[in-house]
Amino acid sequence: MLQLSEDQLALKEAARGFAEAVLGPTARQDDETESFRRSHFQALAEHGFCGIPVPEAYGGLGLGYAELTVVLEEIARVSASYAVTLGVNGLPQVILLKHGTQAQRDRYLARLVTGECLGAFALSEPDAGSDAGALTTTAVRDGDEYVLNGTKFWCTHGGVADLYVVMARTGGPGPKGISAFLVDAGSEGLSYGKKEAKMGLRASPTVELVLEDVRVPAGNLLDGEGAGFRIAMSALDSGRVTIAAMAVGICQGSLDVAGAYACERRTMGKPIIAHQGVGFMLADMACRTEGARLLVRQAAWLRDAGQPCSEQAAIAKCVATDASVAVSTDAVQVLGGYGYTREYPVERFMRDAKVMQIVEGTNQIQRLVIARHLRQKYERG
C-alpha cells in the first residue's frame, strides 16, 4: 500500500516525463491566456492516462486508483489544470462502470478512454452547491424521452465536453427525487452561459450549463429514477481521492521549485537553505507533502480493495488540499520577490491550490463527513 511496485514506479516516471515534455512548455501561456488545449487531452489519452481504472475490454489499462492517483500527482506537479481534465473525464467513467447499462457502457466508455469523447459532470446550481439535494433542474418524462430544464453552475469542461452527466429532479423534494442522465453535447436546447474568470486553474474552463427543453432518450437515464443523489455521492467519494492526489502534486511541485531555488540562492555567504528559518520552512513543506501522500495512497488502496472509503477519502481530501495551500504559499515565501512574479510557477501553484479546498465538496463539508463517521463509531461504542 505504501511502497510502489515496479510497474507503478514505471507509470509514475512515464507520467512525469509526459507532464514535463508536453504540458510544461505551455503551462504558463495556457494559464495567462485561459486556454484549454484539446490536443493536450488527446495526448493524455494517447499515452493511456485517460483509461487507467477502466477495464481492458473498453480500451483501458484495467488498473486501479492506486495507479490513477500516482499519475494525477505527476500531472498536477506541472499543470493542475490538466490534472483536473484527467480527473473530471474519469467521473463519467466511474459512474458508467458502477451504474450504467451495458448499452451505455458500450456507447461511451471506449470513447472516453481514447480521447474521442471528453466527459463532464453537472451537479451544482446557483442555490445548490454544498446542499446538492436542493437542486431545481427538472427532468419530466414524455413518452420515450425526458425533457430537462434548468441551469448548472461550475461545470468543468462546459462548452468543450462531448458528454455531460447531469443531475435533475424527477421526483419530489430532497435527495430521493434526483436522477442522473447522460446528455450529449449536441443535444438541442443545450447551451452555455458565462465562462468563469477564475483565480486559478485558468486552463480548465468552468462554464454555466443551460438546459432549455433538452430532450434526452429514456435510455440515457442512469440506474433508474431517484438514483441520482446516490450516484453523485458515490462519484464524489472517488473524486475526492483524485482531488487529494492533485493537491499532493501541487505540494511536490512547489517543494521542488522552492528547494532548488533555496540551494542556488545565496545570502551571507551560504545558500539560503542553510539558514534555519528557510531550512525549517522547507522541512515543514516536506512533512506536509509526505503526510498527505500517504493518506491519498491509503484512500486509494481502500477504494481498490472494495472497502468503504468515504471517511478516508474525506480525510485525504481535507488534509492534502489544506497542505497544498500551505506548501504553495510557503514556496512563494521562500522565493521572496521572485515567488510573487510569473517568472517562477509557484504563484500559479498557490492560485491553483486554493480551489482544491472548495471543489468536490468544500473542506467544511469534508469535516462534516468525518464527524458523522466519528459519531457513528463512538455511539456504537
Spatial contact of 87 and 28, defined as CB atoms under 8 Å apart: no
For 149, which DSSP code? E
CA distance 247 to 376: 29
**How many other CB atoms sit within 10 Å of the CB of residue 260?**
11
Q: Which of 125, 208, 347, 360 is catalytic?
A: 360
CB crowding 117-154: b at 16 or more within 10 Å, else e? bbbbbbbbbeebbeebbebebebeeeeebbbbbbbbbb
The Cα-based distances of 372 to 112, 151, 369 in angstroms read: 35, 31, 5
Based on the residue annotation, tell me whether 20 is a catalytic residue of this protein.
Answer: no
* Alpha-carbon gap, residue 178 to 379, rounded angstroms: 31
Q: How far is CA 358 from its chain centroid?
A: 11
Cα–Cα distance, 299 to 320 (Å, whole number): 12
Residue numbers annotated as active site: 360
